[in-house]
Amino acid sequence: MILARIRESSPAFETVITSGVQVRGKVVGGPNDVIRVDGRIQGEIETEGLLAIAPTGRVIADVRAREVVVAGVLQGNVLSAQRMTIEKTAQIYGDVHVATVRMEDGALIAGKIDIHGSDAAGAPSPPKPLPAAEGR
C-alpha cells in the first residue's frame, strides 16, 4: 500500500490532518511538502508536493497537486501534474485530470478520468482548467 510507504519514509516536513481534525478553507503546500489527511478538509487544496488521503480521510475540495494518493473519500475535481494513485479503499466523486494514474481493484470513481500525458521532455503537458465541483 502506497500510504504505508509514505508513513515509513515521510520527511520531517510532513503535515498531518489527524482523524479528529476538521479544516475549512484553503490548504496550500510547497514543492517538498507531504500533506496527509486522516481527518477532514473542506474547501480547496493546492500543493506543489504530495497529497495523501488516508482511509479515514475525507476531502470535500477541488485539488491541485503534483502527486495525489487516495485511500479515503474525495469529493471534488483533481488536477495532478504528475501522477495519481487510487487505492482499493478509495471513493472519488468528481473528475480527475492527470498525467499518469494507477488504480487498484475495488476503488470507486463516480466521474471521469482524463489522462493528459506528458510532453517529449517528460514534463506534464499543461492541463485544462478544472470545472467547479458540483453538489457540495
pLDDT in tens, 35-68: 999 999 999 999 999 999 999 999 999 999 999 9
pLDDT at residue 128 in the model: 53
Read off the pLDDT of residues 63-106 as tens digits, 9 standing for 90 and up: 999 999 999 999 999 998 899 999 999 999 999 999 999 999 99
- HEC sequence for 26-52: EEEECCCCEEEECCEEEEEEEEEEEEE
Domain edges within the chain: 2-115
Higher pLDDT, 106 or 128: 106
Closest by Cα among 93, 72, 79, 24 to 47: 79
pLDDT bracket for residue 129 (50, 70, 90): low
Q: What is the pTM of this model?
A: 0.80
